Amino acid sequence: MSTPAAIDWLNLGFKYMQTNAYVRANFTNGKWSGVEVCTDPMFNIHIAAACLHYGQACFEGLKAFRRKDGSVAIFRPEENAARIIDTANRVLMEPPPVELFIEAVKKTAALNFDWIPPYGTGASFYIRPLLIGTSAQIGLGPSRDYILIVMGMPVGPYYKDGFFPVRACVQEAYDRAAPKGVGNVKVAGNYAASMLGDKESKDRGYSISLYLDSAQRKFIDEFGTSNFFGITYDKRFVTPDSDSILPSITNKSIQTIAADMGLKVERRPVSFDELTQFKEVGACGTAAIITPVYSIIRGDKEFTFGKENEVGETLRHLFNEIQGIQYGEIKDRYGWMLAVE
Ligand SMILES: Cc1ncc(COP(=O)(O)O)c(C=O)c1O
């Protein structure tokens, strides 16, 4: 295990790294235990555990940031708490209470305080809560026992070589989610479902895949691991409303800022044909905040937005606002940051 002193913060990338400790809580006999501190990353579960066979597994992803004064704060953890509860309820898992989730997330950051990258590096501390059903059972049905684990590790700056637009392609060979399925929650299986499509798009040279509604292939759903939004020539912020997309916390935050900037925010079904109306298109999520999208390919048609190597001014402003709030450079006027003592 490397020590924080030896870390090249700028070149961390996005990889697992063992840090000082992680936390765990157990749901057994109908109740949650308190939060336990653990250091051994290996632990035993039964070979018949429900998470292994029937996919009762879900997760979250959020970040803590070091500010100029050395303090650390986490971005909107109560939103991730609400989302893991929605996910758990959808697949009949035991949802962790909000207070337990927040305590576990805060404790993970506090236990690894020296692993939280220094201010100014652009790096951050990624927190990964995981919930799994662990009862041994071979008949299909919800687990009785659950484990909540919250781990965390430093991750590098997303745009260390500059903030450049990417090319995307519509992935039509496979769907990642079905209407009224589980695309709107963060179950582990959704990510296995999108791996092949995302790989094939990458192999063709496209950084990200865009998924359309799987019933009609008429409306835009989202990118593989981020939400879609577009800025129209007449300054509207347009983002899809769909049963099969994950409600992104970054998107929700960007909408608040966009409205403050005077943009009209429209969350509604967005037809693929509307692409021609967008001056700027972005993919948004915790990892990068915003990935500017220069073009989207569907079959032999390419739709482009703005200039090839230039980020549009609205996307840049939205990105700077969110990042500024996260690093404490801009006043936290919405109360989004939770301090870690
Ligand atoms: C499918 C999907 N959509 C959107 C997002 C973005 O969500 P958030 O902004 O909460 O990270 C993610 C990442 O969590 C995702 O996996």
Same domain, 128 and 13: yes
Q: In the prediction, which pLDDT does 2 show? A: 62
Taking a C-beta distance cutoff of 8 angstroms, is the pair 296, 302 a contact?
A: yes
Domains contained in the chain, number: 2
Does 336 reside within a domain? no
CA distance 325 to 77: 15
179 in the same domain as 262: yes
Beta strands in 156-263 (DSSP E): 166-170, 208-212, 220-223, 226-232, 236-240
Query: Is the beta carbon of 247 within 6 A of some atom in ligand 1?
Result: no
**Overall residue count recorded for the chain in this entry:** 341
Task: Tell me the residue range of the domain where 132 lies.
Answer: 4-155
Last residue of a domain, one of 122, 155, 188: 155
Do residues 169 and 296 touch, judged by C-beta distance below 8 A? yes
CA of 287 to the centre of ligand 1 (A): 9
Q: What is the pLDDT of residues 152-194, one digit of tens each?
A: 999 998 877 778 899 999 999 999 999 999 999 999 999 999 9
Same domain, yes or no: 173 and 321: yes
> How large is the average pLDDT for residues 28-49?
98
Least confident range from 1-5, 50-54, 91-95: namely: 1-5
Given a cut of 80, whether residue 298 has pLDDT beyond it is: yes
> Is 16 within a domain?
yes
Q: Are residues 170 and 31 in the same domain?
A: no
Identify whether 236 is part of a domain: yes
Residue indicated by tokens 């049963």: 243
Measured from the Cα of 250, ligand 1's closest atom is 9
Out of 155, 181, 208, a domain closes at: 155
Do 122 and 264 belong to one domain? no
Q: Dihedral sign for Cα 134, 136, 142, 145, please.
A: negative
What are the helix and strand counts (H, E) for the chain?
6, 18
Whether 29 and 81 share a structural domain: yes
- The enclosing domain of 86 has a CATH number of 3.30.470.10
Per DSSP (E only), the strands in 106-189 are 124-133, 146-155, 166-170
d(Cα 252, Cα 248) in Å, to the nearest integer? 6
Q: Is the CB of 291 under 6 A from ligand 1?
A: no
pLDDT band at 341 (very low <50, low <70, confident <90, very high): confident
Query: What's residue 89's pLDDT?
Result: 98
Instruction: Tell me which residue of 250, 214, 272 sits closest to 322, measured CA to CA.
Output: 250
Let me know whether 228 and 108 are in one domain.
no
**Residue 120 sits in the same domain as residue 198:** no
> Which residue in 124, 230, 212, 223 sits closest to 175, CA to CA?
212
Q: Between 3 and 268, where is the model more confident?
A: 268
Is 176 inside a domain boundary? yes
Q: Are residues 151 and 170 in the same domain?
A: no
The protein residue whose alpha carbon is closest to atom 5 in ligand 1 is 226
* Shared-domain flag, residues 103 and 170: no
Atom 7 of ligand 1, nearest CA residue? 248
Mutate to test the pocket of ligand 1, among 76, 105, 226 (most ligand atoms within 8 A of CB): 226
Q: Please choose, from the candidates 74, 80, 88, 76, the residue with its C-alpha nearest in 3D space to the C-alpha of residue 32.
A: 88
Q: How far is CA 72 from the centre of its chain?
A: 20
Question: With a 6 A CB cut-off, is 227 part of the ligand 1 pocket?
Answer: yes
Query: Is the C-beta atom of 50 inside 6 A of ligand 1?
Result: no
Q: What is the mean pLDDT of the chain?
A: 96
- 339 in any annotated domain: no
Q: Are 308 and 165 in contact (CB under 8 A)?
A: yes
Task: Fill in the amino acid letter for 206.
Answer: Y
- What's the first-to-final CA gap in the chain, in angstroms? 25
Q: What's the pLDDT at 5? A: 82
Residue pLDDT, tens place only, 230-277: 999 999 999 999 999 999 999 999 999 999 999 999 999 999 999 999
At 1 the pLDDT is 57
Residue 270 lies in a domain: yes
CATH number of the domain to which 240 belongs: 3.20.10.10
**Domain-located, residue 114:** yes
Residues 145 and 28 in one domain: yes
Å from CA of 227 to ligand 1 middle: 7
Q: Is 157 in the pocket of ligand 1 (CB under 6 A)?
A: no
Which residue's CA is the closest to the ligand 1 atom numbered 4?
226
**Is 149 in the same domain as 170?**
no
Q: Tell whether 331 is covered by a domain.
A: no
Among 286, 318, 323, 336, which is best to mutate for testing ligand 1, by the most ligand atoms less than 8 A from CB?
A: 286
> pLDDT tens digits, residue range 190-221?
999 999 999 999 999 999 999 999 999 999 99
Give CA–CA dist 221/271, Å, rounded: 9
| CA nearest ligand 1 atom 2, residue | 225
CB 264 within 8 A of CB 314: no
Q: Kind and range of the H or E element at 57?
A: strand 57-59
246 close to ligand 1 (CB < 6 Angstrom) = yes
Q: What spacing in Å lies between the alpha carbon of 251 and ligand 1's midpoint?
A: 9
Choose the final residue of a domain: 125, 155, 185: 155
Q: In the prediction, which pLDDT does 113 show?
A: 97
